[in-house]
Amino acid sequence: MQNINIELLKSYGLKATPQRIDILNTIEKLGHANIDEIYEIVKKSNPTISLATVYKNITALVEKALLKEVALNNFKSKYEIIKDRHSHLICKVCGKVTDVELNNEILLLSEQLSNNNNFNYKDIELNIYGICSSCA
């Protein structure tokens, strides 16, 4: 098994179909991708794949908590492989998403914030909107 994503899929109880492997590889390569980006790229190696399959698999992978949706203002949701907590720098011009390490300080402050408001904290999402260096 050369491809780590095959193991990943199986460890989550999912069959490692070529389509799913392609989808995961694509997201992994891009870091973040929305449905259309994934579809366009996967089509190259798998020309008969249908858009519905991408939707269905993305949904399945999100349900299995293998992928995470990143809802964005003004852009279509992107998806990323779940890994360490991080924050997103989102360019208001081109929509590019860049990950940055999320420090524990922010994490703790967020948990405090939740506790103070009688809210059962599960997950944090810190999105920073601005202009990226290439668009500046």
Partner DNA sequence: TTGCTACAAATAAAAATTATTAATTAGGAG
Partner DNA sequence: CTCCTAATTAATAATTTTTATTTGTAGCAA
Stretch that binds DNA, among 24-32, 57-65, 89-97, 118-126 (CB under 7 A): 57-65
71, amino acid identity:
A
Q: For 130, list phi and psi in degrees, rounded to 5.
A: -175, -155
Shortest approach of a second copy to residue 124 CB, angstroms? 5
32, amino acid identity:
H
Sign of the dihedral through C-alpha 97, 102, 108, 109: negative
Shortest approach of a second copy to residue 71 CB, angstroms? 4
Is 129 one of the binding residues for a second copy (CB under 8 A)?
yes
Shortest approach of a second copy to residue 21 CB, angstroms? 25
**Which option in DNA, a second copy, none does residue 81 bind, with CB closer than 5 to 8 A by kind?**
none
Check if the beta carbon of residue 18 is closer than 8 Å to that of residue 33.
no
Check if the beta carbon of residue 36 is closer than 8 Å to that of residue 13.
no
Is 127 one of the binding residues for DNA (CB under 7 A)?
no
